[in-house]
Structure 1
Amino acid sequence: MSQDPKRLEEQVKAAAVEAGDLPPIEKWHPDLSGDIDIRIARDGAWYHEGEPIQREAIVRLFSTILRREEDGHYYLVTPVEKWRIRVEDTPLLAHTLEKEGEGERQTLAVTTNVGEKLLLGAEHPLEVGQYEDGSPRPLVRVRRGLEARLVTAAYYELADLLVENEAAGESPSLGVWSGGEYFPVGNG
């Protein structure tokens, strides 16, 4: 086994050709190969052995074989290897908020820093939590335990779309509609 990102890239490319768009990592369950010195910084930058990974194609490829498991750790997974990596906050960032339609019929979409477009809805729900300092932590569920954090500009764009919604027997809340779903963002 090797901690060489180039070798991981070759394995993934071979598997992706067979599988289509995304490699079927939910079917891959190799034993843990160990820790690899790859870190995803809070700003979304990927590092290998302390140096930025310069090739965007490698970052995009690695994002397709990344998953978060029940133990809370993130892993790069191939059919034969599984490497634990470090993630400072979330592995992906969401930016470029797009809106189509109005009111309860609107659809919101974000594009991640690896070029994946996510439509907010049942498959990719929005949740706004908080960091320890009380600042908002807006997340979109991506897949395989992964989340994308909305960057500040996208969060402010989202804030411009807030509406008040009152569920039966509950206090009004502020939130947004997308894909037929209502996502609370705060109390009214």
Structure 2
Amino acid sequence: MLDLQDVLQSLEQRKKAPTELWDPPYCGELPIRIDEQGNWYYQDSRIQRIELVRLFASVLARENDDYFLITPAEKVKITVEDAPFLIVGWDYIADTDPRVMQLTTNIGDRLPLSANHPVILRDNYPYVDMGQGLVAKVHRNVYYQWVDAAEAQQQNGTKQLIIQSAGQSFVIGELAA
């Protein structure tokens, strides 16, 4: 049986540059856009090379409602239509007690659904906290799979759909009465 803390730490490996430690000058806006499906565009042409998208994602930061690509030398603003990432897959890690749900993003990052990366509901639709103000929208297919796996529980006068991971309960939606 694997130790829960060891599993969570192994999934928390940093894939992001330490942008919070840098304070470069603001250099304007770049014509980079991330659409509602997590696709990245430069001047309205989709960026096809996943390695380039991963590089940009590693220096992506959010300040208030704005998104920036930050390097030690410069800071440029980009457009994000909804969320910069998309949760496109999930599975349970074998031999963990309690069970840990591992999530996969559209750029191949993996993270545990845990207290550090909880579900956030926006207009009754689930997103996952990626840390440092960044979120990932849960893809519709993943959401439907979660609904199938969820338990309905009555809380605060509403019926909520709950999934479990890493010893935590996460609300993924509410049902009409």
Normalising by structure 2, report the TM-score.
0.82
After TM superposition, the structure 1 = structure 2 runs for residues 50-89 of structure 1, keeping only pairs within 5 Å, are 50-70=44-64, 72-89=65-82
Cα 1:175–1:52 shift into 2, 3 Å:
same
Correspondent of 1:179 among 160, 163, 166: 166
The answer for the alignment partner of 1:96 in structure 2 is 89
For 1:21 and 1:42, the matched residues in 2 are separated by: 22
> How many residues are matched?
160
Query: Is the contact between residue 39 and residue 47 of structure 1 (CA under 8 Å) also seen in structure 2?
Result: yes
For 2:168 and 2:150, the matched residues in 1 are separated by: 13
The answer for the alignment partner of 1:5 in structure 2 is none
Query: Is the contact between residue 97 and residue 157 of structure 1 (CA under 8 Å) also seen in structure 2?
Result: no
Deviation at residue 105 of structure 1 after TM alignment? 2.8
After TM superposition, the structure 1 = structure 2 runs for residues 1-188 of structure 1, keeping only pairs within 5 Å, are 21-70=15-64, 72-100=65-93, 105-130=98-123, 136-165=124-153, 170-171=156-157, 173-187=160-174
Deviation at residue 41 of structure 1 after TM alignment? 0.9
Q: Secondary structure at the match of 2:149?
A: coil
Query: Is the contact between residue 92 and residue 148 of structure 1 (CA under 8 Å) also seen in structure 2?
Result: yes
Identity across aligned pairs (percent)?
35
Query: Is the contact between residue 173 and residue 187 of structure 1 (CA under 8 Å) also seen in structure 2?
Result: yes
Deviation at residue 159 of structure 1 after TM alignment? 0.5
For 2:174 and 2:137, the matched residues in 1 are separated by: 21
Q: Structure 2: which amino acid aligns with 1:89?
A: D
Query: Is the contact between residue 97 and residue 158 of structure 1 (CA under 8 Å) also seen in structure 2?
Result: no
More strand by share: 2
For 2:174 and 2:47, the matched residues in 1 are separated by: 41
Q: Which moved more, 1:157-166 or 1:74-83?
A: 157-166
Cα 1:57–1:187 shift into 2, 3 Å:
closer
For 1:166 and 1:137, the matched residues in 2 are separated by: 18
For 1:114 and 1:173, the matched residues in 2 are separated by: 30
Unaligned runs of 5+ in 2: 1-13
Larger Rg: 1
Displacement over 4 Å in runs of 4+: none
Normalising by structure 1, report the TM-score.
0.77
The CA RMSD over aligned residues, in Å, is: 2.2
For 1:185 and 1:50, the matched residues in 2 are separated by: 33
For 1:123 and 1:86, the matched residues in 2 are separated by: 26
Q: Which moved more, 1:144-153 or 1:158-167?
A: 158-167
Deviation at residue 61 of structure 1 after TM alignment? 0.8
